[in-house]
Amino acid sequence: MTTATEKKPFTPSAALITEAAEFKDGDRTAVDPALVTLLHLDSEDNSGWLYTREEWEQDKEPRIYRRFGNHEGLEEGERVELLPDVWIVKIDEREHWIAPDVLDKTARIFGVYVFDRRQVTHCCSFSGSYYLSFLGTQWEASRELTDDETEALDESIWEGNCQCESSNYFDQRDVDRMIAKPCREGFLPEGSAGGFHVDVTAVVTDDAIAEIEEAYRGSEL
């Protein structure tokens, strides 16, 4: 365990969740952030002691140990989830469009995706993959468009999006390279891809993705 001279500030990286914090939100089970206990992982890798704020700041013995994704010391009805590390990535997808009216009116077309960087899946390969959830499409006009042309373009793109898979797995290394290129919120990347981190109040991945999906309906990320 960490000694007092080595101690860093309490930095939440996980949440202790009980059944009392869970509630039904439509067809899924969500978690109330106000009813969880935030935990500090005393390690630079995927294993180590998990401290509550009280345990960390008052030098008390922790009871939960994380060992490569599994947790020891939990009581019945408890579970631990890493706090989401949510990112938006924008990917140039103009080459995938074939509708003449869309290609004529656009210079650039980007797919906008959200994902949790802490959730890595190995899909029949040695390298990991992120699960990217599709939010929508952002485009840049090839010329000045009238209001009617803009409305027609938005409708064509919406129809095209309805024919695509809403989510998919992308190679972790490829996505990490994409988000290493800065992209400002509300703007397209300067190159073929870019991304940025977004703050969320949710403490589990599904809730975080739902939070971003709701935010995206009201504005362009």
Residue pLDDT, tens place only, 194-214: 999 999 999 999 999 999 999
pLDDT for position 2: 55
pLDDT for position 163: 85
Q: Phi, psi (5° rounding) for residue 38?
A: -75, 145
pLDDT for position 3: 54
Strand 37-41 versus strand 14-18 pairing type: antiparallel
* pLDDT tens per residue, range 168-183: 999 999 999 999 998 9
Spatial CB neighbours of 170, under 8 Å, sequence gap ≥ 6: 113, 129, 130, 132
pLDDT for position 5: 57
Q: Flag residues of the chain having pLDDT under 50.
A: none
Distance CA 138, CA 124 (A): 32
Distance CA 12, CA 203 (A): 10
Distance CA 144, CA 49 (A): 58
Taking phi over 0 as left and psi of -120 to 50 as alpha, with beta for the rest, 87 belongs to: beta
Beta strands in the chain (DSSP E): 14-18, 22-25, 28-31, 37-41, 47-51, 64-67, 70-72, 78-82, 86-92, 106-116, 129-141, 167-171, 193-197
Distance CA 218, CA 221 (A): 9
